[in-house]
Chain A
Amino acid sequence: MTSTRTAAALARPAHRAPRRPLQWTALAFLAPLLVYLLLFYAYPLYRNIELSLHDYTPRAFIQGDPEFTGLENYRAILTDGAFLRALGNTALFTLGSIAVQYALGLALAVFFHRRFRLSAVLRALFLVPWLLPLIVSASTWSWMLASDNGVVNAALRAFGIGQINWLTSPDTSLLAVTVANIWLGVPFNLVILYAGLQNIPAELYEAAGLDGANAWQRFLRITFPLLRPVSAITLLLGLIYTLKVVDIIWIMTRGGPADASTTLAIWSYREAFGTGQPDFSPAAAVGNLLILIAFAAGLVHVRLRKETP
């Protein structure tokens, strides 16, 4: 017995010894994170899947005896008339937001890429919207877009445009929350794209200048192609972030009027917490669909990155 143990002890270090002690140390340093991920990500996620597969009434929620319904919640959601509406709103809100804030962020990054007097200070000021608490920005936008005495309508009136009920008309509420979200997203795009620009060697621009390329050609032939990896990650992060947005929309319109600005995330939030009657099971199912969408986007991103050299 003793001999086999010694033999094993002797045999193992022969090919693993150099890494072994470090492996345990590495694990010790990683342990808090692993426990954390398990307790505060994996378990809530598991609970959420469990919620979506049962019929949790508020009573069953407290007593813990819900009926198992399989994929019934998912079927109910996918066939609900509100689903297509929410999916369409999510697509408009998300794609509209990231396209415009990326374009604005890129234009500003190119503009600030040249050094000029006050450029650093001005660039820092652009970060402000992004650092403010969302409740602050969202309530400010609500007040600016108010129908009777909002400053936006007052300005439009100067151009002879009549009152627009930005937040209370089903035609404009989605546009209104998208505009506010774009305003919030520009700083993030600006910062990342600006950093990407700084990694492009200046010699390329000099060479292009010698060859007689104008500013637009330089942008099209050098800046934009070389920025592709940075652009891809910016758009992916923007997409993942925007899919999840609840606060801005909830504070400004609560998804209304009549679901006009209800996205999947808002739908989920409203079912679970937005009414006096929490309905966790369908809410969890909608939430899980959202994760799948974000995950699919992530996979597409990884795929595209592998294909581009």
Chain B
Amino acid sequence: MRGWRTAVGVVLAGVMLFPVYWMVNVSLTRTGDLRADPPHWFPWNPTFEGYAAALGQQLPALATSLFIGLGTVALTLAVSLPAGFALARLRPRGGRAVDFLLLVAQMIPAVVMAMGFYAIYIRLGLLNTVPGLIVADSTLAVPFGVLLFRAFMAGIPGELMAAAQLDGASTWRTFRSIVLPLSRNSVITVSLFTFLWAWSDFIFASTLNRNSDVIPITLGIFRYIGNNTTQWNSIMATAVIASVPAAFLLVLAQRYIAAGVTAGAVKD
């Protein structure tokens, strides 16, 4: 039997993805059938009322999340690309200390960061603002970005850079015209993760933006659950819609994801 591994793999993936299936199933279930016992294993009479309600109410939140995600990606790249290049290529004094700081930075719980940001934002008037959330969300990604860019850029052949320098290119020019184009894959990886983390962030949104009219989708769903314990089809429909970017990126950039995680974490 050659196919047994495939068969087992399909079963395992099915078990793993059951919650995702269930989310989609509930999102299509009619309100009257939600309390059915036993539950309906398939959406026999699918309804899109959940999706209609979700789109009707959560569209602005989705737009906000998109905007926050893109802003966070821009900020993260601006900070971590040059730093990764410096650490990989320019061998600065104290480079090891920076490595250590980045490791420690990843150990700080988001709750602690949230309290610190809250205390600062309340003074600066950044509470309940989108820029404030972009800055806070970027802290989830910057250490990861620097470490990943450093690992990637260390692998670019030194001759390419040496040749550019011989032709009289400045370090900045070498960075811009040689290193950045070659780093495209790692830029995609970091942007992908940064966007997903910002899109999924709940802690910063729930602490730094909770009294705002402009809320991201995670907070939108959370409030939805709080105000609405019966319309689980609408809640799950919103959840499905909020998952679309993840699904989309997964299909589009699958190979970058695996490469990114491993480059960032396993570097012995």
Contacts and interface: CB of A to CB of B under 8 A. Distances in A.
Contact of A61 (B103, B104, B122, B175): B122
Interface in A172-195: 183, 186, 188, 191-192, 194-195
B6 interface: yes
Given A26-B91, A111-B8, A131 B258 contact: no
Given A30-B87, A294-B107, A284 B115 contact: yes
A26 B112 contact: no
B154 interface: no
Contacts of A251: 202, 222, 225
Q: Is the interface of B mostly helix, strand, loop or mixed?
A: helix
Contacts of A41: 101, 105, 108, 113, 139
A246 B203 contact: yes
A34 B102 CA distance: 10
B37 to A, nearest CB: 6
Interface stretch (A68-76, A81-89, A122-130, A214-222): A122-130
Q: Is the interface of A mostly helix, strand, loop or mixed?
A: helix
Given A30-B98, A125-B13, A246 B35 contact: no
A32 B82 CA distance: 8
B162 interface: no
B214 interface: no
Contacts of A149: 34-37, 39
A134 interface: yes
A135 B105 contact: no
Contact of A22 (B90, B122, B262): B90
Contact of B38 (A23, A133, A135, A157): A157
Interface residues of B, number: 92
B106 interface: yes
A131 B107 contact: no
Given A135-B242, A192-B262, A48 B199 contact: no
A265 to B, nearest CB: 6
B79 to A, nearest CB: 5
B20 A129 contact: yes
Contacts of A26: 86, 90-93
B218 A33 contact: no
Interface in B6-20: 6, 8-10, 12-13, 16-17, 19-20
Given A111-B9, A140-B22, A291-B108, 16 more contacts: A30-B98, A40-B139, A41-B139, A47-B119, A118-B10, A119-B6, A131-B250, A135-B221, A139-B235, A143-B235, A246-B111, A247-B203, A269-B111, A272-B118, A290-B112, A298-B103
